[in-house]
Chain A
Amino acid sequence: MFQLLNTILIGITSGAIYSLMAIALVLVWRSTRVVNFAQAGQALLSTYIGFEVIQRFDSYWIALIVAIVAGAAVGALIDVLFMRFLFSRNTQGPIAGVAPIIATLGLLGLIRGGIGIFLGNTEASIRPPVSNVGFTISGHTLAFSPLKFLIVGAVIFLMLALSLIFQRTNIGLALRASAYAPEIARLAGVRVDGIRTLGWALAGAAGAAAGMLQTPNGDGGLSPDSLDFSLLLVFGFIAAVIGGLESLIGAVVGGLLLGLVLAFVLTYVSGSLVFIIAFMVLILVLLLRPSGLIGAKRGRRA
């Protein structure tokens, strides 16, 4: 009984972090039609910045905020300095669709390599800001601690905030319009270039939050070739695809679903199967519901 409950709790916590990464990927996909593999690098860089802030000010909370702001800035910079240039150079031909995506892979290598050169020798780790010792109920230890509570709460807060921005504000309307139909958005007066940069910034912020929340939840260690961040990218991507790549809600549902499935596999089957199962979930969803579980409901198309 407790094992079942704990499995669900573990699934929800890790799923929440995947959701955040999935949200980051969806934001960039929606605003530029690019699958941003560099997101893992951006998240890692932002988390390193958070680590540096903790070294100086000894406060996880300040570091979290700085990392999120830095993540947004890095995302915006990548768009302004790199993606815009790439898109203006590369408008036609069979390569046009894939070039930006391959470019983000290159960027991922670049960021990780850069971190390796400049920060590779520092022993970096982030300790949990609040206890990660599970709550106990009548002698049993739950797999749910103040830290995990913080993680789930932060993800819910960020998701609600982003959904509100998208659905209820003028900026959100401009973001959606630019993603769906850039030409019509421009004719309506939306400065699409700036709006796209904003999409990259929001994504960078979400990725940074994912990195800052994930690290203390694991062993706390940070390294340039961190496997945790690679997995975060892969699982975030799978979650985003499960959710249909287009919707924030879909990303969260996809993340939680994946987190739960993997937690059950880990507890009841075998830890060595987690990776395979993750990809099996991806393939199953693609085969059965290619537009994702939350795939767009379509009315008439004519």
Chain B
Amino acid sequence: MTLIVSDLCVDHGAIRAINRVSFRVEQGQLAAVIGANGAGKTTLLRSLSGLGHAASGHATWHDHNLLHAKPEKLVRYGVSHVCEGKSVIPELTVEENLNLGALWRKDAKEAKATRENILETFPRLGERLSQLADTLSGGERQMLAIGRALMSKPQLLLLDEPSLGLAPLVIAQIFQNIRELTDEMGLTVVLVEQNAMSALEIADIGIVLNLGRVAATNSAQQLIADPQVRAAYLGY
């Protein structure tokens, strides 16, 4: 199972936010998509999860066409998306937010096992199950958002800036969680990040977006070593 994106174009009105973007992510790989503000990272993810509409191009996961499909259908094919900004519903409890991700699943027993796993990874959620998500800290919310996505039994996980607004220690923790989950659950992950260095450190491959185009794509180590990438995106 491979994520293949080819010649993808996405418009916002007159702006071409994603311009002929192509890349592939093999099963089990963690791909970091980095780039400055407005590079088109969010637009890219939204078009892969069914929230956004592509103008042209192709994107497939396994045998499924990701373009022109509804998100509620794609999630049944194993595509889970955590939006930018903590993607939780503040009016619902932590438990309800988690259960929401598994609503469509018919396998109640397995879903329960998934939940146990998630609570093992994020014990702080387990201590707060009956609390409103509104009362969580930023880091806990991000854990809940990822937990909700995992409840949907994903194979392809799309994460939009999980580090947004978090303290460095919490970021390190969440990134480590993401790497471990990728390996344990055999996930394929597309991780969109401003925090380029931390993202590349846990990633297998990196994709650098600039003004809607792919500026560079390579293994994560090689991108970290690339002087041009360092100067432009890693800040040293």
Contact = CB atoms under 8 A, between A and B. Distances in A.
A295 to B, nearest CB: 13
Interface residues of A, number: 23
A105 to B, nearest CB: 29
B60 interface: no
A176 B90 CA distance: 11
Contact of B134 (A183, A185, A299): A299
A117 interface: no
Given A188-B152, A299-B134, A300-B134, A176 B91 contact: yes
Interface string A243-282: 0000000000000000000000000000000000000000
Contacts, number: 77
Given A188-B103, A300-B135, A173 B96 contact: yes
A296 interface: yes
Interface residues of B, number: 31
Given A184-B89, A192-B72, A301-B134, A173 B103 contact: yes
A180 B89 contact: yes
Contacts of B71: 186-187
Given A173-B96, A299-B132, A300-B134, A187 B49 contact: yes
A173 B151 CA distance: 15
Nearest to A172: B96
A170 interface: yes
Nearest to B98: A188
Contacts of B142: none
A33 interface: no
Interface of B: 49-51, 70-72, 75-76, 80-81, 83, 87-92, 96, 99-101, 103-104, 132, 134-135, 138, 148-149, 151-152
Q: What 3 A-B pairs have minimum CB-CB distances, sorted nearest first?
A: A189-B104, A189-B75, A299-B135
